[in-house]
A and B are shown apart, each in its own frame.
Chain A
C-alpha cells in the first residue's frame, strides 16, 4: 500500500488537507479572485448585507468584505505558518543540543525553557508584543517564542531515547562528528512527531496571532487579518452579522482543517495504529 493510500484512508484528514490547500490557494490568488480593492472605502455603501455585488457584504467603511477576507487570509495564514517554522526550528535545535549533550547543557537550556513555560501562552505573547511594540512581525515573533518550549521538550525527549540506540552508538564509534550524528542519524528519526506537532500548532498559531490582532497588537490598518476584521466588526455585530460571521468562518475553517490534517498525520505515523481498521 502506498503511503498516500494509507493516509487517504483517514477521510477527515484528507478533507482537512483539501480545505487547507483551498484556503492557501485563495489567499495566494487573492489579487485575481478579489472582486474589489480590499482597502477601497466607499462610505455611501457602508454596512451593506451580502449581495451579488458584495457576496460577503461591506464593512463600516463600505469596503468589500470578501476581498478583505481573501487578502486577510494572506496575513493570517502567513501568521500561522511563519511562527511555527521559526518556533519549530529554534525549538528543535535547542532540544537536539540539550538531549544529545546532556549534563550542564541540558540543565541550563531546559531550565530556561521552564521559565517560558511558567507563563500562560497568551500572557507571554502579550508581554513580548507589549515590549517590542504592536505589529504583525512582532506578533509572529511572539507566537514563535511562545511555541518554542513545546518543540524543544518534544525533541529532547526523543533524542534521549534514541541516543542510546545501537545505530547512534555505532556512528559515534565510527568517528562521526556530533553534527553528523545529530543531523544525519537523530534528526530524521524524530521528524515525524515533529511534523505532527508542527501541523497541529499551525492552528493555534493562527488563533494566537488572530487574538493579538483582535486586541489591536497584531496587524495595523489598513492591512487586515481575520482577527483584526473580527475586532473591528464586533461593534457592529447587532446590525451587521456578516462582519463577524465570514472572517470567523475562515478562522474556524483554517484551524479545523490543519487540526484534522495534524490528527491524520499523527495516526499515519503512529506505529500502533498501522494495523487498525
Chain B
C-alpha cells in the first residue's frame, strides 16, 4: 500500500508546485522583459504593477458589455465625459464644463488638444458618435438603457456638444460618468474595438492573453501627462484565496474584495496594507410578488422579520458590511437614513404567518449565484427561515444560470448584489421598482402606480432637496410593500503591496485611478 500512496502524494505535490510555479513564472518573465527593456536604469524600481483580476474581460469594447470585469480594464483605456471622484463629486474628465441650456438640454465644453491612441482627434463628433453607437440597437449594447433617454446630440462646434433628453432628466450627468458611456475613437470603431481598443485613457492595450492576463502600457501622449507606471498587468485569478497568496508572495501588487477574515493577516504584514470603505453596492433579497405564497404581504413581512440582518453584519460579515434599510447605500444620492424597517423578531414572524393562515412548513426557493459571500448569506437565511417553519431550498448556480433562472416569472426569492454605479438612486430604484421594468430588472414584479409616479417626478425635478424628499417617500413605501429587503451594504475593500503608492480607489475597482500611481 505504501508503494501506491507515496508516488500519488509525490505526483500531487508536484502538480501543485508546478501550478504555483507556472503562475509565478509568468510574472517573473514579465519582470525580466521589463529589466531588459529598461537597460541601464537599475537603481530606480521598475514601474510595473500586477493587479489580480477576478474574471477575464470578454471584450474591450465598452459599449458591448455591462460587466465589471470588462469595465475595470476599459476604464483604464477609455474615458467618460465626467468622472465620479472618491468624495462622490462629479469631476471633469473629457468634458471640462457643463451648463444647462434649458430644461432638457445640457451644454458640454470638451477638453481640447486630446487625441485617441490611434491618432484620431477627440472632438464633438467623437462624443456624438460614441453615445449614438451605445444607444444604437445594432450595437446590441446591454448598457444602452443608460443613454436611452437622450433624444438628440448636436455638434455645436468642434469642442461643444448639446445633449437633449426627451423629458427633463436630472440624473443625466451621473449617467455620463458610467463606464459604459466611454468615448471611443470613431476611426477605430470601424474595426474591432473588442480586440483593438482606442480611447483617450492613460493606458494602452499592449497584450491580452484571453483567460490569463491583460497587459496595459502607459499612454505617452495622455493629455494629463504620461502616467509614471510603465505597465499595468491585470492577471486573471478567479479565486480569492489564491489572490491573497500571490499578494503575500509579492507576485501581485493589488487585490480587490478582501474577505473579512483576512484583514488581520494582511495588516500583520509590514509590506501590505488593506483598506475598506463604503462603496456603491447593496446586497438585497428579492421577493417575486407575482403569485404563490410570496404574493401575500404577511409572508414577505414574516421573512423580513425572521432574518437577523444586524447579526449577519456583525458576526458573519465581521463588520465588512453596514446595515441599512434603504435600497441604496448612504454614499449614493437619494439614500435615506433612519428609514424604519422590519425588526428581527422570529416569534412575531411565526405569529404573523399563523395569523395569515399560512400552513407550515412552507416550501420556498431562493436563487443565488456562486461566490463565498452569497453562498454564506444564503445558508444563513436558510437556517433562519427554518426557525419560522419555512423550508427554503437554496439553488446556487453560476451567474449566467442564476440570471436565467430569475429572468422568468416563476422564481421565488433571490439573493443578489447591486451596484449603483452612477451614484444616483434613480439608477437603482427605477430599475428595481418601476412597473415598466417588469421583465427587466424589476424581477419582484412590483407595481405601485404611486411609486411609478414619484420615480418619474424625481427624474424631472432639478432640485436636489425635492428629489431627496421623493426618494424618501418612495423608499418608505417600499418598506411597507416589501418587494425587496435590503440586507446590508457590503464594504468595498482592497489590499496592496506598499511599493505601490498614489493609487486612488473610488468606490470600486472599476474606477481605479492609476494616473498618479507609482512604484516606490
Shortest CB distance B268–A (Å): 11
B316 at the interface (CB under 8 A from A): yes
Residues of chain A lying within 8 A (CB to CB) of residue B379? 41, 61, 221-222
Q: Please, how many angstroms separate the alpha-carbon atoms of A57 and B261 in the complex?
A: 17
Q: Please, how many angstroms separate the alpha-carbon atoms of A263 and B3 in the complex?
A: 12
Ranked 9 nearest A-B pairs via Cβ: A43-B315, A41-B383, A221-B379, A221-B394, A235-B372, A43-B311, A260-B1, A235-B241, A222-B382
Further contacts, 4 of them, CB under 8 A, given A221-B378, A237-B241: A47-B261, A61-B376, A61-B379, A238-B261
Residues of chain B lying within 8 A (CB to CB) of residue A237? 241
Quick one: which of A134, A222, A239, A256 contacts B383, CB cutoff 8 A?
A222
Count class of interface residues, chain B: 20 to 34
B212 at the interface (CB under 8 A from A): no
Main SS at interface, chain A: loop
Quick one: which of B240, B315, B316, B397 contacts A134, CB cutoff 8 A?
B397
Q: B396, A43: Cβ atoms under 8 Å?
A: no
Q: Please, how many angstroms separate the alpha-carbon atoms of A61 and B311 in the complex?
A: 12
B265 at the interface (CB under 8 A from A): yes
B436 at the interface (CB under 8 A from A): no
Tell me the chain B residues, 385-431 only, with Cβ under 8 Å from chain A.
Answer: 386, 393-397
Q: Can you list, as one digit per residue, whether each of A205-233 has a CB less than 8 Å from chain B (1) or not (0)?
A: 00000000000100011100000000010
Which residues of B are interface residues toward A (Cβ below 8 A)? 1, 4-5, 240-241, 259, 261-262, 265, 311, 315-316, 370, 372, 375-376, 378-380, 382-384, 386, 393-397
Q: Please, how many angstroms separate the alpha-carbon atoms of A61 and B308 in the complex?
A: 13
Q: B265, A238: Cβ atoms under 8 Å?
A: yes
Residues of chain A lying within 8 A (CB to CB) of residue B380? 41, 43, 61
A64 at the interface (CB under 8 A from B): no
Q: Can you list, as one digit per residue, whether each of A56-86 has a CB less than 8 Å from chain B (1) or not (0)?
A: 0000110000000000000000000000000
Q: Please, how many angstroms separate the alpha-carbon atoms of A61 and B377 in the complex?
A: 10
Q: A216, B383: Cβ atoms under 8 Å?
A: no
Measured CB to CB, the nearest residue on chain B to A135 is B395
Residues of chain A lying within 8 A (CB to CB) of residue B393? 220
Residues of chain B lying within 8 A (CB to CB) of residue A61? 316, 376, 379-380, 383
Q: Please, how many angstroms separate the alpha-carbon atoms of A47 and B382 in the complex?
A: 19
Residues of chain A lying within 8 A (CB to CB) of residue B378? 221
Residues of chain B lying within 8 A (CB to CB) of residue A60? 316, 376
Shortest CB distance B491–A (Å): 17
Residues of chain A lying within 8 A (CB to CB) of residue B396? 134, 216, 220-221
Q: A220, B240: Cβ atoms under 8 Å?
A: no
Shortest CB distance B245–A (Å): 10
Tell me the chain A residues, 34-48 only, with Cβ under 8 Å from chain B.
Answer: 39-41, 43-44, 46-47
Q: A134-B397, A222-B383 are in contact. Are A12 and B315 (CB under 8 A)?
A: no
Count class of interface residues, chain A: 20 to 34
Quick one: which of A44, A221, A236 contacts B375, CB cutoff 8 A?
A221
Q: Please, how many angstroms separate the alpha-carbon atoms of A44 and B314 in the complex?
A: 10
Q: A46, B397: Cβ atoms under 8 Å?
A: no
Measured CB to CB, the nearest residue on chain B to A40 is B383
Measured CB to CB, the nearest residue on chain A to B308 is A43
Shortest CB distance B283–A (Å): 17
Q: A46, B316: Cβ atoms under 8 Å?
A: yes
Q: Please, how many angstroms separate the alpha-carbon atoms of A47 and B1 in the complex?
A: 36
Residues of chain B lying within 8 A (CB to CB) of residue A256? 1, 5
Residues of chain B lying within 8 A (CB to CB) of residue A239? 261, 265
Q: Can you list, as one digit per residue, whether each of A172-183 has a CB less than 8 Å from chain B (1) or not (0)?
A: 000000000000
Q: A46-B316, A221-B378 are in contact. Are A39 and B394 (CB under 8 A)?
A: no
Residues of chain A lying within 8 A (CB to CB) of residue B397? 134
Quick one: which of A43, A216, A235, A260 contacts B316, CB cutoff 8 A?
A43
Q: A235, B240: Cβ atoms under 8 Å?
A: yes
Q: Please, how many angstroms separate the alpha-carbon atoms of A221 and B386 in the complex?
A: 13
Q: Please, how many angstroms separate the alpha-carbon atoms of A263 and B372 in the complex?
A: 40
Q: B261, A236: Cβ atoms under 8 Å?
A: yes
Shortest CB distance B401–A (Å): 9
Among A39, A221, A238, the most chain B Cβ lie within 10 Å of the Cβ of A221
17 contacts between A and B (CB under 8 A): A39-B386, A41-B380, A41-B384, A43-B380, A61-B379, A61-B380, A216-B370, A220-B395, A221-B375, A221-B379, A235-B259, A236-B261, A238-B265, A239-B265, A256-B1, A259-B1, A263-B1
Q: Please, how many angstroms separate the alpha-carbon atoms of A40 and B384 in the complex?
A: 10
Q: Please, how many angstroms separate the alpha-carbon atoms of A256 and B1 in the complex?
A: 9
Shortest CB distance B101–A (Å): 54
Residues of chain B lying within 8 A (CB to CB) of residue A46? 315-316
Residues of chain A lying within 8 A (CB to CB) of residue B382? 221-222
Residues of chain B lying within 8 A (CB to CB) of residue A47? 261
